[in-house]
């Protein structure tokens, strides 16, 4: 007798539904972007969206900021488990607790259960970095923080709406404990609206195809993703591989490296185990990574290492195992500060894992992206008579790393962005902020050299027309912290943030991870780091070197010294005889910058 419990799955319908789920999660993310009052959401897209089935398995996600999106799959479990047995139709949940499987506190999760025929069928989540979540910092960043309470307001999973009725006391509590309540309230409503958009689309999907047919297709979708990823992992050479990377310092003890150590085991059954337990102890500043963020980064590192596109669903997470040790700075004990986890810590954890993975399949490996020196400011905008707080994502215009066959992307962004975050529109910035942007221009000379060089960096100059308070956040300046080139490729030159003071005409270097004051007329400047190089620079195609020279990314002297390519500047062409001789003689001062 056939087993009547076996679900019959139409493979064509499963493929159709897979695409529909991707389209629905795009609707959720798009609704957030289009209805937000914050440039952080609307311009930069520092947001993510995800949908889950009733068992909290990730079905689809939109990773406009990849490190946020990869965290959704564990943050949703904190919400659902916290309220197990008490979830009602019409509920809307909020959650930002960094020690409750979230990333960091400025990343606020809003989630809504989707009911069909009286039962939970799906969950929709809208996640975004809020411009203010309380605390002493700016947009959630305080280099002086020593606890999560310094980072900002901590919200365990709570109901913004209960059975469709607004929880007014919670809304009032949140608004009264943040410095920009109007903006915060608007963006929470934006996230709720996005969840409702996803809810309507999912209900319509079930009405169209039937709840049972949709549910039966989920295993097929996820299993197909898992098989595809395991097949890719099986192409790696099994074994144990090691990689490590350090941040500049822990902010409190300047100039002393703090190191992430990754032990990556590639197994013959298509699984990867990432063990970070040998990393350094937690630190007394905001340079810690919560478990939720570390899990997110670890899965990111594996999925982005693989060629092609792997669907972001629960099937892609099954072959990846993570081991951490409580009390390290990749899994700190409560109540450690941790607001830099999605930025500097993500860069460092990702690079340590990638350095290990690169040994398994060099042709798949990408050298490290340029590391971020993030400019954040707050003040009063006289143009619209409103306070403002903004993350200047133009300072994320770092180059990405080179990989076999390809130079890194210019303005690919640091690792946690992976080319997804948008550099904001200068005209929009000048409308909503008291600034004038004078320059945002690609520039060569700060990227790592290689057979395939890193993406070039950028020059940025923005003048403030009103006084403001700023914080400069980031790392990657010390020799041990700059992005590492692969297979003979070299490291890029660190970021160089500074301010041109209107009153003195003096250019002053801005120390990283410090607060500083801006006066009206001051100009913030930054020369942004490019990506690291891949392969020996003396093996670079001379025609590519010439193109960089003609594009004014490279001088003739650097072409000769770094790449062994001699350019006839008058003829604007390669001197092939001199080039062959220069390459035969070897590099003049070592291949690199």
Dump pLDDT digits (tens) for 92-132.
999 999 999 999 999 999 999 999 999 999 999 999 999 99
Residue 1's pLDDT is what? 38
Handedness of CA 160, 161, 167, 171 (dihedral sign): positive
Q: Looking at the predicted structure, is the pLDDT value of residue 316 above 50?
A: yes
Question: How crowded is the C-beta side of 9, counted as CA atoms within 13 Å?
Answer: 16
Place of tokens 């690291």: 532
403 DSSP β-pair partners: 366, 406
Using pLDDT thresholds of 50, 70 and 90, give the confidence band for residue 7: low
Q: Which of 223, 228, 199 is nearest to 25 (CA)?
A: 199
> How many other CB atoms sit within 10 Å of the CB of residue 428?
12
Q: What is the mean pLDDT of residues 298-327?
A: 95
Task: Tell me which long-range contacts 586-591 makes (C-beta under 8 A, separation of at least 24).
Answer: 586/538, 587/537, 587/538, 587/561, 587/562, 588/560, 588/561, 589/561, 591/449, 591/488, 591/490, 591/536, 591/537, 591/538, 591/562, 591/563
Name the residue among 387, 354, 385 with its Cα closest to residue 369. 354
pLDDT grade for 6, boundaries at 50, 70 and 90: very low
The pLDDT of residue 2 is above 80: no
Does 592 score more than 60 pLDDT?
Answer: no
CB 194 within 8 A of CB 29: yes
What's the pLDDT tens digit per position in 48-59? 999 999 999 999
| Mean pLDDT for the stretch of residues 328-354 | 97
For β-strands 514-518 and 92-95, DSSP reports them as unpaired
Segment 154-176 shows an average pLDDT of 97
d(CA 196, CA 113): 10
- Kindly report whether the peptide bond that precedes residue 335 is cis, defined as omega within 30 degrees of 0: yes
Pair of tokens at residue 213: 């047919």
What is the SS3 assignment for 181?
helix
Q: Are 43 and 22 in contact (CB under 8 A)?
A: no
String of DSSP letters for 61-117: EE-SSHHHHTTHHHHHHHHHHHTTT---TT-EEEE--TTTT-S-TTEEEEEEEEEET
Strands 272-275 and 320-323: parallel
- Band of residue 39 on the pLDDT scale cut at 50, 70, 90: confident
Domain spans of the chain, in order of start: 11-226, 367-535, 538-585
Q: How far apart are CA 25 and CA 201, in angstroms?
A: 9
| Distance of alpha carbon 243 from alpha carbon 345, whole angstroms | 15
**What digits encode the pLDDT tens for the residues 409-442?**
998 888 888 877 888 888 989 998 999 999 999 9
Supply the pLDDT for residue 588.
67
Predicted local confidence at residue 38, as pLDDT: 87
Tokens of 216: 């039966």
Radius of gyration of the chain (CA): 25
pTM: 0.95
Asked if residue 591 has pLDDT above 70, the reply is no
Question: Which pLDDT band, with edges at 50, 70 and 90, does 174 fall under?
Answer: very high
Pairing of strands 119-129, 158-162: unpaired
* pLDDT of residue 145 exceeding 70: yes
pLDDT score, position 4 = 42
Task: Please check the confidence at residue 489 and state whether its pLDDT lies above 80.
Answer: yes
Backbone angles phi and psi of 58, in degrees to 5: -65, 125
Instruction: Calculate what percentage of the chain has a pLDDT beyond 90.
Output: 87
Give DSSP secondary structure letters for 520-587: TT-EEEEE---PPPBS-GGGS-HHHHHHHHHTTSS-HHHHHHHH---EETTTTEE-HHHHHHHHHH--
Cα gap 424→191, rounded to integer Å = 20
More confident residue, 590 or 113: 113
Q: How far from chain centre, in Å, is Cα 559?
A: 33
Contact 245, 238 (CB under 8 A): no
Distance, in Å, from the CA atom of 274 to the CA atom of 317, rounded to the nearest integer, reads 13
Q: Note the pLDDT of residue 435.
A: 97
Write out pLDDT tens, residues 541-566.
999 999 999 999 999 999 999 999 99
What is the mean predicted confidence (pLDDT) over 522-536? 97
pLDDT of 5 over the 50 cut: no
């Amino acid at each position: 007798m056939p087993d009547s419990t076996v679900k019959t799955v139409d493979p064509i319908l499963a493929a159709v539904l897979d695409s529909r789920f991707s389209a629905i999660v795009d609707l959720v993310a798009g609704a957030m972007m289009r209805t937000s009052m914050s440039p952080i959401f609307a311009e930069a897209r520092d947001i993510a969206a995800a949908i889950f089935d009733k068992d909290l398995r990730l079905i689809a996600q939109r990773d406009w900021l990849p490190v946020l999106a990869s965290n959704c799959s564990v943050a949703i479990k904190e919400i659902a488990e916290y309220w197990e047995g008490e979830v009602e139709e019409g509920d809307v949940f909020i959650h930002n607790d960094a020690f409750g499987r979230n990333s960091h506190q400025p990343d606020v999760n809003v989630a809504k259960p989707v009911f069909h025929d009286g039962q939970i069928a799906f969950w929709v989540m809208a996640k975004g970095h809020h411009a203010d979540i309380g605390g002493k910092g700016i947009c959630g960043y305080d280099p002086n923080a020593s606890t999560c309470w310094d980072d900002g307001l901590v919200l365990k999973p709570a109901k913004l709406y209960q059975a469709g009725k607004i929880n007014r006391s919670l809304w009032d509590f949140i608004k009264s404990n943040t410095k920009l309540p109007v903006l915060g309230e608007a963006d929470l409503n934006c996230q709720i609206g996005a969840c409702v958009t996803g809810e309507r689309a999912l209900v319509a999907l079930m009405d169209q195809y039937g709840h049972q047919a949709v549910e039966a297709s989920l295993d097929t979708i996820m299993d197909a993703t898992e098989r595809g990823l395991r097949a890719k992992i099986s192409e790696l050479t099994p074994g144990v591989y090691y990689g490590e990377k350090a941040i500049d310092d822990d902010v409190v003890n300047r100039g002393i490296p703090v190191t992430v150590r990754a032990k990556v085991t590639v197994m013959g059954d298509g699984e990867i185990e990432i063990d970070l337990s040998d990393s350094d102890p937690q630190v007394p500043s905001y340079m810690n990574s919560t478990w939720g963020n570390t899990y997110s980064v670890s899965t990111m590192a594996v999925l982005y290492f693989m060629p092609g596109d792997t669907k972001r669903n629960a099937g892609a997470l099954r072959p990846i195992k993570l081991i951490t040790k409580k009390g390290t700075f990749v899994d700190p004990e409560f109540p450690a500060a941790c607001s830099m986890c999605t930025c500097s810590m993500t860069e460092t954890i990702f690079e340590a894992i990638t350095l290990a993975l690169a040994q398994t399949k060099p042709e798949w490996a990408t050298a490290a992206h340029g590391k971020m020196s993030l400019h954040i400011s707050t003040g009063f905008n006289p143009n619209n008579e409103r306070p403002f707080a903004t993350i200047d994502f133009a300072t994320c215009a770092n180059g990405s790393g080179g990989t076999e066959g390809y130079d890194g992307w210019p303005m690919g962004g640091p690792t946690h962005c992976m080319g997804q975050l948008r550099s904001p529109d200068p005209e929009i910035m000048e409308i909503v902020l008291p600034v004038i942007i004078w320059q945002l221009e690609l520039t060569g000379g700060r990227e790592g050299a290689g057979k395939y060089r890193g993406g070039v960096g950028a020059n940025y100059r923005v003048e403030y027309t009103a006084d403001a308070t700023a914080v400069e956040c980031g790392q990657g300046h010390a020799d041990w912290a700059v992005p590492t080139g692969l297979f003979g490729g070299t490291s890029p030159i660190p970021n160089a943030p500074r301010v041109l003071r209107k009153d003195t005409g003096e250019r002053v270097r801005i120390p990283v991870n410090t607060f500083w004051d801006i006066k009206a007329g001051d100009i913030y400047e930054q020369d942004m780091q490019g990506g690291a190089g891949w392969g020996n620079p003396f093996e670079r195609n001379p025609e590519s070197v010439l193109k960089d020279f003609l594009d004014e990314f490279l001088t003739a002297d650097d072409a000769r010294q770094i790449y062994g390519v001699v350019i006839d500047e008058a003829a604007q062409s390669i001197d092939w005889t001199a080039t062959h001789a220069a390459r035969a003689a070897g590099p003049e001062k070592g291949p690199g910058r």
